[in-house]
């Protein structure tokens, strides 16, 4: 942190590799100048804005982070590897161990979910000797916007009933139950565990992969949190996130989850376009040597990089095949059907087809919530109903997806909760039963910039709503011309700046 911004060995240069708001000449720099520009980060640490490296250096190294792409996991693994190498050199020079490695924050661990609380080393303003603690960050507000940092995982929420805002325990590791890196099957909803097939993407308007969406995005947004102004915590925005030291512990955990997913027998893509990486190469500064240019193939295994994790095992899969559960809900699975027969099914999903969409954008910022009726196409609706009515082991039901398309705004530290067919003034039990998932708006500001890399297309999210549609079908509530979708902020409060959903749509995917 004592090194200058233009030094590739400095904390600040590494943060800008992920993303920055320091160069006023970039399209995403706030106009007029304001937060999240680095010069407006308040408190600790004191973030520099000069001297800038040459434009050639900026173009080569800065603003590389990969989001909404199948390159999300390998790019971040290389990023962690390069930062760890620089830190290790510095630590050894001070007499530290040559085996030093980045730690991870396993927010899913601990008795009664205790490790969901941020490690205490990051919350103390000073070290035991009274000197400033470089791990402390002022602009880190947490899920309750009060400076207390924890992640609302199921174990944490179950043992902390005093956290009513997060009773839904949004942050989960359910994605570890999936078995397909890109695409979908009966066990893996779109767009896959690792993300969709894309080119270089910073940050993309394509849907985030299932691991990236949850837990990655939600942890970023919940750690960052809001204050009572347009400001929000640095962790909530890709252009400021890597200024916070907890960023790297979070990403080490994401990397650990990927390693565990592979150890469980799941495979990475063998597509040459993934193995070789995008046309724009991934490059990192390395201490005392030439820059490191790497491909996903070179970092897809942690053994090839000579490191291991203390805990890398994937939790056992939940009892019951998800396809079996759907068939049981639809009364399409009987005791005469062999479980082995269902477990051995390897369905090949076909192209998704638009089932319905709303008309016009949906603004959710003024009241903190909004609802919309998604109008269904009668011909496609008929095909979908037929697949549910005649579902069997030999004729699998459609998979159903809800998309929030072209979400735009400037308030990254926002979580949206989504419900299907929620009645007015619903009680808590009903709300929980109709809750289909949460999305964190990590990267919203940058994706909404009209002159930016993605021409202001915003963010797009996919939620698997198959089991909810199954229930509507059994209860004879799918014959109407519309399906109601409700969207609200996690706080339920109005936002300080507009958030707009360009379109709410529902897709069917025949299997």
- Residues 362 and 300 occupy one common structural domain: no
Domain termination residue (choose one: 281, 305, 329) = 305
Confidence check: pLDDT of 168 > 80: no
pLDDT digits (tens, 9 = 90+) for 352-367: 999 999 988 999 877 7
Domain termination residue (choose one: 274, 305, 336) = 305
Kindly state whether residue 118 falls inside one of the protein's structural domains. yes
Confidence check: pLDDT of 338 > 70: no
Say how many domains are in the chain: 2
Structure confidence at residue 365 (pLDDT): 74
pLDDT digits (tens, 9 = 90+) for 81-115: 999 999 999 999 999 999 999 999 999 999 999 99
pLDDT digits (tens, 9 = 90+) for 311-331: 877 776 665 567 778 888 998
Q: How far is CA 76 from CA 157, 183, 250, 257, 369, in A?
A: 29, 21, 11, 13, 34
**Helix, strand, or coil here: 267?**
coil
Kindly state whether residue 110 falls inside one of the protein's structural domains. yes
H and E: helices and strands count for the chain = 15, 11
Give 456's pLDDT tier (boundaries 50, 70, 90): confident
* For residues 332-339, average pLDDT: 64
Structure confidence at residue 454 (pLDDT): 52
- Which residues constitute the domain of residue 177? 63-305
Kindly state whether residue 383 falls inside one of the protein's structural domains. yes
Q: What are 485's strand-pairing partners?
A: 372, 420
CATH code of residue 456:
2.60.120.230
335 vs 485: which has the higher pLDDT: 485
178 in Cβ contact with 190 (< 8 Å): no
- Residues 300 and 352 occupy one common structural domain: no
70 in Cβ contact with 194 (< 8 Å): yes
Confidence check: pLDDT of 344 > 90: no
Domain termination residue (choose one: 278, 305, 332) = 305
pLDDT digits (tens, 9 = 90+) for 205-233: 799 999 999 999 999 999 999 876 678 99
pLDDT above 70 covers a percentage of the chain that reads 93
**Cα dihedral angle (25, 30, 36, 40), rounded to 10 degrees?**
80
Helix 11-18 to helix 72-93 angle, to the nearest 10 degrees? 180
Confidence check: pLDDT of 381 > 80: yes
Kindly state whether residue 265 falls inside one of the protein's structural domains. yes
Structure confidence at residue 318 (pLDDT): 60
- Residues 70 and 203 occupy one common structural domain: yes
Q: Considering only CA atoms, which of 165, 163, 141 is closest in space to residue 229?
A: 141
pLDDT digits (tens, 9 = 90+) for 113-147: 999 999 999 999 999 999 999 999 999 999 988 89
Indicate the DSSP class of residue 330: T
CB-count burial class (<10 Å; 0-12, 13-18, 19+) for 401: buried
**Residue recorded with tokens 């050639």:** 56
- Residues 276 and 356 occupy one common structural domain: no
Positions of E strands within 173-323: 282-284, 292-294
Q: What are 508's strand-pairing partners?
A: 353, 400
Structure confidence at residue 491 (pLDDT): 76
Structure confidence at residue 360 (pLDDT): 86
Does pTM surpass 0.85? yes
- Residues 218 and 72 occupy one common structural domain: yes
Residue 145: CB atoms within 10 Å: 18
CA dist., res. 487 & res. 423, Å (int): 13
- Residues 285 and 384 occupy one common structural domain: no
Average pLDDT, the chain: 91
- Residues 404 and 496 occupy one common structural domain: yes
CA dist., res. 53 & res. 95, Å (int): 31
Structure confidence at residue 445 (pLDDT): 93
- Residues 372 and 464 occupy one common structural domain: yes
Confidence check: pLDDT of 164 > 60: no
- Residues 284 and 407 occupy one common structural domain: no
pLDDT digits (tens, 9 = 90+) for 251-264: 999 999 999 999 99
**Helix, strand, or coil here: 119?**
coil
């Amino acid at each position: 942190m004592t090194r200058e911004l233009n030094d590739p060995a400095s904390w600040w240069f590494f943060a800008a590799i992920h993303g920055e708001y320091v160069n006023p000449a970039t399209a995403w720099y706030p106009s007029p100048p304001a937060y999240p520009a680095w010069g407006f980060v308040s408190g600790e640490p004191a973030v520099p804005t000069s001297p800038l490296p040459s434009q050639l250096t900026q173009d080569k190294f800065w603003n590389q982070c990969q989001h909404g792409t199948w390159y999300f996991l390998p790019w971040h693994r290389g990023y962690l590897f390069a930062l760890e190498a620089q830190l290790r050199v510095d630590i050894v020079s001070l007499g530290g161990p040559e085996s030093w490695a980045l730690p991870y924050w396993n927010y899913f661990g601990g008795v009664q979910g205790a490790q969901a609380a941020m490690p205490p080393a990051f919350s103390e303003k000073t070290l035991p000797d009274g000197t400033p603690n470089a791990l402390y960050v002022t602009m880190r507000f947490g899920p309750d916007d009060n400076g207390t940092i924890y992640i609302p995982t199921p174990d944490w929420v179950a043992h902390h009933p005093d956290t009513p805002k997060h009773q839904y325990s949004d942050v989960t590791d359910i994605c570890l139950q999936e078995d397909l890196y890109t695409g979908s099957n009966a066990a893996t909803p779109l767009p896959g565990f690792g993300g969709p097939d894309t080119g270089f993407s910073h940050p993309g308007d394509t849907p985030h992969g299932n691991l990236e969406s949850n837990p990655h995005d939600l942890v970023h947004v919940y750690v960052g949190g809001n204050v009572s102004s347009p400001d929000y915590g640095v962790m909530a925005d890709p252009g400021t996130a890597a200024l916070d030291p907890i960023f790297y512990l979070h990403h080490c955990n994401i990397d650990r989850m990927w390693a565990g997913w592979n150890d469980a027998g799941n495979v990475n893509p063998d597509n040459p376009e993934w193995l070789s990486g995008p046309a724009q190469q991934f490059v990192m500064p390395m201490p005392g040597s030439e820059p490191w240019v790497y491909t996903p193939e070179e970092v897809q295994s942690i053994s090839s990089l000579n490191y291991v994790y203390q805990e890398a095992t994937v939790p056992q899969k939940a009892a019951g095949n998800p396809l079996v559960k759907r068939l049981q809900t639809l009364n399409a699975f009987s005791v005469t059907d062999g479980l082995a027969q269902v477990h051995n099914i390897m369905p090949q999903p076909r192209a998704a087809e638009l089932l319905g969409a709303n008309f016009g954008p949906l603004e959710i910022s003024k009241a903190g919530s909004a609802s919309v009726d998604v109008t269904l196409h009668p011909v496609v609706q008929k095909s979908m109903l037929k697949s549910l009515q005649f579902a069997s082991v030999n004729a699998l039901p459609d998979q159903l997806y809800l998309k929030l398309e072209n979400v735009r705004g400037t308030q990254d530290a926002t979580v949206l909760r989504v419900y299907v067919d929620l009645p007015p003034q619903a009680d808590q039990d009903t709300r929980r039963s109709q809750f289909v998932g949460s999305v964190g708006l990590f990267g919203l500001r940058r994706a909404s910039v009209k002159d930016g890399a993605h021409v202001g297309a915003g963010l797009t999210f996919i939620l698997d709503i198959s089991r909810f549609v199954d229930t509507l079908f059994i209860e004879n509530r799918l014959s109407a011309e519309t399906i109601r979708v409700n969207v609200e902020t996690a706080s339920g409060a109005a936002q300080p700046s507009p958030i707009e959903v360009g379109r709410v749509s529902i897709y069917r995917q025949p299997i």
